[in-house]
Amino acid sequence: SRKYVLYDVNAGEGFNLRRDVYMRVARLVHQLNEGSKTAEWVLVLPPWGPLYHWRTKDFGFQAKIPWKEFFDVESLAAYVPVIEF
């Protein structure tokens, strides 16, 4: 069966902290998958925004920005299964 891990960070947290939290949660999901014989754990990537120190007019209203705007999601999925929220 497939199970999902969804996480979030406090509003107003910066880019680097959000990225660091991803790395910790991805490691957790990796360990869950290594130890599970019955479930595949999938990491759900929470949308970004607003990033107060990274404003740009290119994104318009900066809420619910997908991870693919900042990262190669396929590369992230090489370590653990991921989906965008």
Domains in the chain, please, with CATH? 2-84 (3.40.50.11340)
More confident residue, 6 or 60: 6
More confident residue, 77 or 56: 77
Query: What pLDDT digit, counting tens, does each position of 47-67 carry?
Result: 987 776 666 677 667 778 899
Neighbouring residues of 40: CB distance < 8 A, sequence distance ≥ 6? 1, 2, 3, 33, 81
- Name the residue type at position 66: P
Q: Is residue 61 within 8 Å of 39, Cβ to Cβ?
A: no
Q: How far apart are CA 74 and CA 8, in angstroms?
A: 21
For the annotated catalytic residues, the residue numbers are: 13
**pTM here?**
0.85
The answer to whether residue 34 scores a pLDDT higher than 80 is yes
Is pLDDT at 42 greater than 80 in this prediction? yes
Mean of pLDDT over the chain: 90
